[in-house]
Structure 1
Amino acid sequence: MSAPVFRFAPSPNGYLHLGHACSALLNFDAARRSGGRLLLRIEDIDPARCRPEFEAAVYQDLAWLGISWETPVRRQSEHLSDYRAALEELTAMGLIYPAFESRAEIARLLAQREAQAPWPRDPDGAPLYPGVAKSLSPDQRAYLRDSGVPYALRLDMAAARALVPDLGWTEHGEGPDGETGAVVARPEAWGDVIVARKETPTSYHLSVAIDDALQGVTEVVRGADLFWSTSVHRLLQHLLGLPQPAYHHHRLVLDREGRKLSKSTAATALRELRAQGATPADIRRQVGLP
């Protein structure tokens, strides 16, 4: 029987904080207990936000925590052809369409929809795509593409669900509302999700499904904030014939206001805590680990 394979997959768009430390340590500890392997993946598909100094800090912070990982490290920006191939496969199945609305246009469409009735939102609270790009003719799409209009490539969720009507996973951890055990996947709750953009042939949802399969990941241990994203990942795995890893979602590390720690809210970075005299043992205690 093969050893289990775990992974920690941060984005180098800021410095790691206690929430990252909790997830990385949980993966590292689980790999050691099970005699498994721990992989490190750098999710750097956003060139506007990802920076070399943040990636270098990831390695420094993890090493300081006493975490070791296998090399070479997979950097998503070096494997865009893998995602492009998967995107072409989904396109050949008739499941992908381009949406040309700008963020401002989407906001205007959303305001129009909500003026008539409450508009549905995804599990993260963001409004579902309100546009009508799916109804454009092939000639209209070709004209807009040839004109250089930016676009996002979206998954036709209704068509995808027609191909995969029954979907779920076994949760070995716990979701945000205590969900565990057999979970029914609800990818339709996300609407027609973006799977790529004109300038980048992938998105988080697509790349994570592809990467986990190509790296042979068998155990996905991550925060409960990504619990319902698993619905989309399970759908993509089924459509692309990819293996299903085991899922274990863990509690989040919260700030004093009860919010999830985030780079966007300036959560205290591990490097700052280290500079203030914190030890790796202190970090473990702060995130509730032995």
Structure 2
Amino acid sequence: MAGASSVAPAAATSDSSSASVTAAAKNLISAARSVAGTLRVVGLADGGDKLVQFNPLKPGKITGSVAVTGLTGGDTALVGIDYRVQDGNLYGVGDNPASAGVYSVNASTGVATQVTRLSVALSGTTFGVDFNPAANALRVVSDTGQNLRQPFATPGAATVADGALSYAAPAVATGVNGAAYTNNDLDPNTATTLFVLDTALDQVAIQSPANAGSLAPTGKLGVDAAGATGFDIYSVLRNGSPIGSIGLAAVNGSLYEVGLLTGTATSLGAIGADVTDIAIPLVQR
């Protein structure tokens, strides 16, 4: 995203440097914590029917766990979660492929309240879900190249099927199942950039224009990211404006700090639950 710096450690070049790289990643998150308080992450676990909470510096210690309840319309679990800056609430997308519900979810109780339903059928087995803070719209991408947009500014608005994900049209990119926007703030002077995780190619890419689905890789993760991957970006704010971004990803049971402009994934440790998506609360306490 223009107007914000991406904060990431240098890539590891050898086994001997891995310890220093991990320390650098932890120092970065500690710096963010000094600005925003004690960091916590909400994870979608157990196949999408449970929410867990943990500190990214101690991902093995689960500090909260609740079952997701209140799903309707054929939804049995959530496929992705994210926080919306306009109201600070956690939202989730249901798993009914024909008409998935979009829910406001209480992270403390797990109670889900339907807000709307997608009017375009889901296509895929794993999904990335994230709010565009500038457009006030929910982005849903999938491992089949699906690229959906659910507007929130107009109540009852229909879901928009945007251009299929692609590195070089007309070839469709398959394997993308993590999505996150930078600069989660209400400052009209900042823009936002959509980053995605491609688990087929094990890399980070920028999706721009987001509505066109055009992908440009920024770098390799350095780890095998096969399967469902949780991804979110924490915007470090000062006086309401972004001063940096930290990418976190849940990959194969572990939490990683992800260099947005390098792709480098640095392990922060194993997560104490089977997490398939993550969302970082906008207000840390």
What TM-score do the two structures reach when normalised by structure 1? Answer: 0.26
The structure with the larger Rg is 1
What TM-score do the two structures reach when normalised by structure 2? Answer: 0.26
Using CA pairs under 8 Å that are at least 6 residues apart, name the structure with larger relative contact order, 1 or 2: 1
- Structure with the bigger percentage of helix: 1
- Structure with the bigger percentage of strand: 2
